Amino acid sequence: VPSPAQGVGPNYQPDGEKPTATVSKEISYENVHVLSQTPQLIALLTMIRDKRTARADFIFYSNRIIRLLVEEGLNHLPVVEQSVTTPVGRAYLGVKFEGKICGVSIMRAGEAMEQGLRDCCRSVRIGKILIQRDEETCMPKLFYEKLPADIADRWVLLLDPMFATGGSATLAVEVLKQKGVPEHRILFLNLIASPSGVAEFAERFPKLRVVTSFIDQGLDDKKYIIPGLGDFGDRYYTL
């Protein structure tokens, strides 16, 4: 099933004059949140999907999407009432974040999302899980994990830009659960997901939340996301 196409542009641009672009598939799981398909997001995704985009631009534009994901992810953390007094002596009733958080990146590609998290959450603790997909079988393999000692008391922002079969993210969640992190305190931040991977994941972990910028068309016979952007880790770090 092709991904939906729609007119993308600011509201003052009449529908008939907006350029047609491919937007994210919709998905009907309450625990999956897809970023609003704004002209900015679609333009950023267009840059990083383009095979001609060189590494410096790939890094710059994917960092901008990562920032949007982190900002949206933070909206899913609980807040409590907070009243403050302004310099003119008036009260303002607002909120503040409650609870401790940490990031956990699925290496290598997930490490690219750490700076975006740090930019929003100063001195945030960050754990690492090294999981690599076997190039032949596409099955994920766990090599290493190093996580904050009190991770079971924290909200965990799990970071991985690519979500293909979902095997790597599923294994990472199993590791977190073994460490005592309750599923409802895990928030998975992701750039591009395959529809089958994200649907299976959402059903398997109904209390965990996923924030992604795009649900793509599907997977090819090598289990790469299509249209996708190729190998994120290679394009960000080595290509």
Catalytic residue among 57, 134, 137, 220: 137
Residues in Cβ contact with 159 at an 8 Å cutoff, skipping those fewer than 6 apart: 103, 104, 105, 106, 110, 111, 113, 114, 117, 189
234 is catalytic: yes
Contact 52, 58 (CB under 8 A): no
Q: Which of residues 208-227 bind ligand URA (CB under 6 A)?
A: 224-225
Measured from the CB atom, the residue of 155 and 214 that comes closer to ligand URA is: 214
Q: Judged by CB under 6 A, does residue 163 bind ligand PRP?
A: yes
Q: Judged by CB under 6 A, does residue 237 bind ligand URA?
A: no
- Per CB under 6 A, which region of 35-43, 72-80, 86-94, 230-238 contacts ligand PRP? 230-238
Q: For 127-141, b where at least 16 C-beta lie within 10 A, e where not — what string?
A: bbbbbebeeeeeebe
| Token pair in block for residue 231 | 């190998």
119 is catalytic: no
137 is catalytic: yes
- Which residue from 167, 209, 216, 235 is in contact with ligand PRP, where contact means CB under 6 A? 167
Cis peptide before 209 (omega within 30 of 0): no
Site size toward ligand URA, by CB under 6 A: 9
Full 3-state SS string of 113-144: HHHHHHHHCCCCCEEEEEEEECCCCCCEEEEE
Q: Judged by CB under 6 A, does residue 157 bind ligand URA?
A: no
Q: Judged by CB under 6 A, does residue 107 bind ligand URA?
A: no
Which of ligand PRP, ligand URA, none interacts with 228 (beta carbon under 5 to 8 A by kind)? ligand URA
Residue with tokens 């952007």: 229
Instruction: Give catalytic residues, as residue numbers.
Output: 133, 137, 231, 234
